[in-house]
C-alpha cells in the first residue's frame, strides 16, 4: 500500500510539472505583456523595460521557469502587483470559498442524482426514465451562464425570494452566515452536475442489474428493494466514485462562470479578473493549485475505490 502511494505521488509530481511548463509557456506567448497591464497606458518604454527587468521577464524563458520553480519549491507562488498581495495570500483567501461552493453543489448533486439514476435504471425505458433523461439532456446542454442568468431572473426578479448576489464575506464563516445567498450559485452548479451523475448512475445500474449475481439474488427470493439496494447499488456506484474524483476539479471551470455571474469572491473570480488584467503570477498560481487538486482528486478516488471494492483491495496488498 505504501509503495503504491509513493508511486502514485511520483506520477502526480510529473503531471504537475508538465502542467506548469505548459501554462508557463502559453502565458508568456501571450501578446501585450504584464508590464503594460500593470503600469497602464501612460507608462513609458523605459518604465516598461525597468519593470520587465525587475520581474525577470526579459530573461530567457527557461531561466524564468527555473526561477519560478525554485521559488515554488519554497512555497512562494509569486507576487501580484495588481492586487498588491502575494499570490499565496490571494489564493488562501479565496480557495476555501470555492471549495465550499464545489462541495456544496457536489453534495446536492450526488444526493439527488443517485436516487434519480437508480429510479431510471429500474424503470428503464418507461416514462420516468424518459422524463429524467430529457431533463438531464436539457440541463447538460444549457450553457452555465445562461442557466445562471435564468435562475437570477426567475428567483430574484420574477419571483423575488432569493438574493441575486452571493454574500461578500471575507471568510467561509461569513459566507455561511448568509445561506440564502449561496442557494442560487450552488443550485446552478449542481444542476449540470446532477445531469452528469444521473446518467452515470443509470447506465452503471443497468449494467449491474443485468449481471448474473443479481439473478442469483432474485433466486433467493429477495424483495426487489433488497435486490437493488443491498446487491446492486454498491457495485453500481463504483464508476461514480471515479467520476467524483475527476469531476471535483472540473467544477472549477463551472465555478469560473458562476462566480463571475453571482459576484462570488472565490478562485474562479480571481482567475477571471487576473486573466483580464494579465496578472501572470495569479494565473500561474491558480493553474498550479488546480492541477494539484486534479491529481489529488484522482488519487483520492482510487483510494476510495480500493476501500469499497474488495477486488481492488486485494490487488493493492498483493505486492
Partner 1 sequence: MSESIGPTARHSAPAGQAAAGRPLLELRDLDTDIALRRGTVHALDAISLDVAPGQTLGVVGESGSGKTMTALSIMGLLPPGGRVAGGQILFEGRDLRSLPTDEVRRIRGVRMGMVFQDPLTSLNPTIRVGAQVAEPLRVHKRVGRAEARDRAIEILRRVGMPRPERIVDNYPHELSGGMRQRVAIAMALVCSPSLLIADEPTTALDVTTQRQILELIDDLREEFGMAVILVTHDLGVIAGRADRVAVMYAGRIVETAATEQLFHAPRHRYTEALMRALPESALRDSGGHDRLISIPGLPPDLSGPLTGCRFAARCAYVSDECRTTDPSLIPGTHQHACLHPVPTPAGAATGPAPTQVEPAAKPAQVEPTTEPVTAAPADVAELPVLSVRNLVKNYPVRGRGLLRRAAGQVSAVADVSFEVRPGETFGLVGESGCGKSTVGRLSVGLERPSAGQIVLDGTDLTDLTGRERRRMHRQVQLMFQDSYAAMNPRMRVDAILAEPLEIQKVGDSAARQARIATLLDQVGLSRRALERYPHEFSGGQLQRIGLARSLALHPRLIVGDEPVSALDVSIQAQVLNLMRDLQRELGLAYIFISHDLSVVDYMADRIGVMYLGKLVEIGPAREVVRAARHPYTQALVDAVPSIAPDRAATRDGTTIRGELPSALDPPTGCRFRTRCPRAADICTTEPPLAGGRHQVACHLPLRPEPTGTPTQVQAVG
The region of 58-66, 140-148, 247-255, 305-313 touching partner 1 under the rule CB under 8 A is 305-313
Between CA 31 and CA 35, with CA 32 as vertex, the angle to 5 degrees is 135
d(CA 160, CA 51): 49
CB 164 → partner 1: shortest distance, Å? 46
Given the complex with partner 1, which of 141 and 318 has the nearer CB atom?
Answer: 318
Name the 3-class secondary structure at 83: coil
CB 121 → partner 1: shortest distance, Å? 12
DSSP 85: E
Given the complex with partner 1, which of 76 and 211 has the nearer CB atom?
Answer: 211
CB 311 → partner 1: shortest distance, Å? 5
- Concatenating the DSSP letter of every residue in 246-270 gives HHHHHHHHHHHHHHHHHT--SHHHH
Site for partner 1 in 215-274 (CB under 8 A): 215-223, 226, 230-231, 234-235
Q: What is the largest CA-CA distance in the chain?
A: 85
d(CA 230, CA 224): 10
Given the complex with partner 1, which of 169 and 316 has the nearer CB atom?
Answer: 316
Given the complex with partner 1, which of 153 and 314 has the nearer CB atom?
Answer: 314
Given the complex with partner 1, which of 109 and 217 has the nearer CB atom?
Answer: 217
d(CA 105, CA 168): 19
C-alpha cell at 109: 448533486
CB 247 → partner 1: shortest distance, Å? 23
**Number of residues near partner 1 (by CB under 8 A):** 32
**Helix, strand, coil in percent for the chain, rounding step 5:** 80, 0, 20
d(CA 275, CA 18): 21
The region of 3-11, 182-190, 278-286, 295-303 touching partner 1 under the rule CB under 8 A is 3-11
Closest to 180 measured CA to CA, from 160, 197, 153: 160
123 burial via Cβ count (<10 Å: 0-12, 13-18, 19+): middle
CB 8 → partner 1: shortest distance, Å? 9
x-marked contacts with partner 1 along 99-138 as a string, rule CB under 8 A:
----------------------------------------
**The binder of partner 1 chosen from 10, 31, 32, 60 (CB under 8 A):** 10
The Cα-based distances of 244 to 13, 140, 219, 239, 301 in angstroms read 21, 17, 34, 9, 7
d(CA 206, CA 200): 10
The region of 114-122, 138-146, 173-181, 308-316 touching partner 1 under the rule CB under 8 A is 308-316
> Does 310 participate in binding partner 1 (rule CB under 8 A)?
yes
Answer yes or no: are the C-beta atoms of 283 and 104 closer than 8 Å: no
Given the complex with partner 1, which of 40 and 221 has the nearer CB atom?
Answer: 221
CB 119 → partner 1: shortest distance, Å? 17
> Does 309 participate in binding partner 1 (rule CB under 8 A)?
yes
User: Site residues (CB under 8 A) for partner 1?
Assistant: 3-4, 6-7, 10-11, 211-213, 215-223, 226, 230-231, 234-235, 308-311, 314-316, 318-319
Amino acid at each position: 500500500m505504501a509503495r503504491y502511494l509513493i508511486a502514485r505521488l511520483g506520477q502526480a509530481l510529473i503531471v504537475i510539472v508538465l502542467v506548469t511548463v505548459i501554462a508557463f509557456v502559453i502565458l508568456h506567448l501571450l501578446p501585450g505583456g504584464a508590464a503594460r497591464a500593470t503600469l497602464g497606458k501612460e507608462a513609458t518604454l523605459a518604465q516598461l523595460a525597468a519593470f520587465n527587468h525587475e520581474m525577470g521577464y526579459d530573461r530567457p524563458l527557461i531561466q524564468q521557469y527555473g526561477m519560478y520553480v525554485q521559488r515554488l519549491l519554497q512555497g512562494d507562488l509569486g507576487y501580484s502587483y495588481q492586487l498588491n498581495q502575494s499570490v499565496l495570500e490571494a489564493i488562501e483567501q479565496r480557495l476555501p470559498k470555492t471549495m465550499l461552493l464545489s462541495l456544496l453543489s457536489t453534495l446536492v448533486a450526488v444526493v439527488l442524482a443517485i436516487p434519480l439514476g437508480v429510479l431510471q435504471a429500474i424503470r428503464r425505458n418507461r416514462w420516468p426514465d424518459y422524463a429524467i433523461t430529457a431533463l438531464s439532456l436539457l440541463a447538460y446542454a444549457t450553457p452555465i451562464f445562461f442557466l445562471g442568468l435564468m435562475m437570477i431572473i426567475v428567483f430574484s426578479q420574477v419571483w423575488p425570494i432569493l438574493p441575486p448576489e452571493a454574500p461578500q464575506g471575507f471568510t467561509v464563516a461569513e459566507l455561511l452566515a448568509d445561506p440564502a445567498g449561496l442557494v442560487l450559485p450552488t443550485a446552478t452548479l449542481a444542476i449540470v452536475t446532477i445531469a452528469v451523475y444521473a446518467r452515470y448512475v443509470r447506465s452503471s445500474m443497468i449494467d449491474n442489474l443485468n449481471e448474473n449475481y443479481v439473478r442469483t439474488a432474485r433466486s433467493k427470493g429477495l424483495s426487489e428493494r433488497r435486490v437493488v439496494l443491498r446487491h446492486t447499488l454498491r457495485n453500481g456506484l463504483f464508476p461514480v466514485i471515479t467520476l467524483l474524483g475527476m469531476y471535483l476539479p472540473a467544477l472549477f471551470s463551472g465555478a469560473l462562470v458562476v462566480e463571475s455571474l453571482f459576484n462570488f469572491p472565490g478562485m474562479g473570480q480571481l482567475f477571471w479578473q487576473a486573466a483580464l488584467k494579465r496578472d501572470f503570477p495569479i494565473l500561474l498560481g491558480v493553474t498550479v493549485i488546480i492541477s494539484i487538486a486534479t491529481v489529488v482528486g484522482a488519487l483520492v478516488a482510487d483510494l476510495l475505490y480500493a476501500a469499497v471494492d474488495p477486488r481492488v483491495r486485494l490487488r493493492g496488498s498483493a505486492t
